[in-house]
Structure formats: structure tokens, C-alpha cells
Amino acid sequence: MKESVTSTTCMVCGHPVTGRWFENCADYYLQTPFVVDYRECTVCHLIQQVPMPTDTSSYYPPDYPMHTGRGMFHARLRKLLIHRIYFVPQRTAKDTVLLDYGCGDGSYLQSIRGRIGRIIGFEPSGKRAEQLRSALGCEMYSSLAEASSKLKSSVDVVTAHFVLEHLTDLDETFRFWGWILKPGGTVHIAVPNIRSYEARLFGKKWHGLDSPRHVSFPEDESLTLLMKKNEFELIEKHCGIFPNLWAASLATVLAGRYNHLFFMLLLPLGFILALLMPQDTSVYTMRKFLKY
């Protein structure tokens, strides 16, 4: 089924989105009934859903896997296989204030506990934020207005690992980050690279597409425009090692839909392929301009 949607303009630059990309994309991961189309902005080259959804809440079932705690085994497996994606605190980070934007299951914040002076989380769902607050025992916000009023110019680092692609208002997000960060503070993001070899190989069955939940794919030109509008500068970009996308994409091709058993069996191969062709995940570090 097609979701009720309205906008056909680029969410970053406002121009009509006319370049064809993928059409009639089904949900191979969670098998929700939604089918979506993706097109490219010919000005800033953002690839996004067209039309853009006004409300994505129905795309996420109550048992959405990324919001489900997966225990110590998953944490160790992630540490073993995934590299150069998650922000790693330095040994001198005891005085650092870090906000994780889009906490998921909370495992990242849990992994840096004790290595950062003050950890804060943001989750747009009030219910999910309360669950994470209880589980992690740290500051947790679900309201941009409340977080903005309490955190103005007080945060050193914002992390957003695999978050931007889910959002329907990137400008609002960048404005919020600029508001809460100290001058010179940094933002560390990881996003799927829809122009990677892997994405071209698997097409609509590429796990990084994750339709309908991934509504856009910010990259160099669109992110540069967002940075300029919100007084950020790029200080680093690199590719991360994320074998999950290779393994899950192969599992989807073999089974016709995502299959978790196939995924686990294919993870070692996915790790090798990710090492050989590390293109599927782009990691950016941005800095808020210093003001004198």
C-alpha cells in the first residue's frame, strides 16, 4: 500500500525532485505493507522518498528490532565486526558532554559509560525515551523544545549513528544541533551510502535502503548545504566497516526477504566483503564554527 504523503520537493534545497532512482520499493526487512519510490534532486543530489511522508510512525512496528535490547553477545559481536563507524571517546574525555541523537536500543550509550563525563540521549518517542532513561539511568529527552531550553551551548559532541536517513526534517535537526553545541563542538554521523557499489549491486534489495523507514540519503553535496545553512564545517569523512549490510543484503537475495538465520551464517563473508569494499557506510565529522 502507498502511504499518505504530500511533498515532492527536496527536503534540503526545496527544488523539485525529478531524477528517477528506485520505484515500487517493498519492505524486505520487516514486511510492512508500504511501497515507496525514491528520486534524486538534480540540484543538491539528495536521494529521498517522493512524495515525502508526513508521518513515518506507522513504518515502525511495536517490536522494531533497533529498539530491542540484544544483550552482551550482540555488543561483543558489534565490537568485533564493526569498525570506524561509532564515535570513540578519547582518554581525555572525562570532562566531555555527549548527546546521542537517536539512541536506538541504548547500547552505544551503555558502551561509553564511564568514558564520557556526561552522557545524554535523545529519542523522539516519549515512551521509548522513558524506557531508556530507566534502563540507562542518564538524562534522556524526547522533546526538542525541552532539550533546547536545557542544553543551550552546553554539549561538546553530538553522535547520530544511522539516524539522519530516518528523519523528515533535516534542517530542524541541524538547527537543534547548532543550538545545543558549544562553539567548536562536533557532530559525528554515520549514514548508508546509496551510491556505493553494494547499493548498485543489490538495488531495491540492498539492506541499506531499508524502505520505507529510510526516507533520504544525505551525502556530500546535500550535507554541505545543510552545514553552510547552520554554521558547520566538515573536518573529516571516511568509510566505515559495516558487514551487516553485505550479510543482510545477501540473505535477502537468497530468501526473497530478510532471513535472520541466513544473515548470521553470512556475517563472516559480509565481514570479508566489507573489508575489501568499504563503501556502504559514510562517516562524517562536522564542527560548529567558532565565534570570536
- pLDDT per residue as tens digits for the range 218-257: 999 999 999 999 999 999 999 999 999 999 999 999 999 9
Q: Which CATH number characterizes residue 134's domain?
A: 3.40.50.150
User: What's the chain's length in residues?
Assistant: 292
Residue 96, pLDDT > 50, answer: yes
- pLDDT per residue as tens digits for the range 155-204: 999 999 999 999 999 999 999 999 999 999 999 999 999 999 999 999 99
The total of structural domains in the chain comes to 1
Helix ranges, the chain (H): 71-81, 107-112, 126-136, 144-151, 170-180, 197-202, 220-229, 243-255, 260-276
Q: Of 34-38, 129-133, 253-257, 267-271, which gets the smallest average pLDDT?
A: 129-133
In this structure, are residues 151 and 99 in contact, taking their beta carbons and an 8 Å threshold? yes
Q: Which domain holds residue 62?
A: 5-288
CA distance 15 to 9: 5
What does the block give as the cell for 268? Answer: 563472516
Write down the pTM of the prediction. Answer: 0.92
Residue 188's DSSP bridge partners are 159, 285
In this structure, are residues 208 and 245 in contact, taking their beta carbons and an 8 Å threshold? yes
Distances (CA, A) of 134 to 31, 130, 152: 31, 6, 24
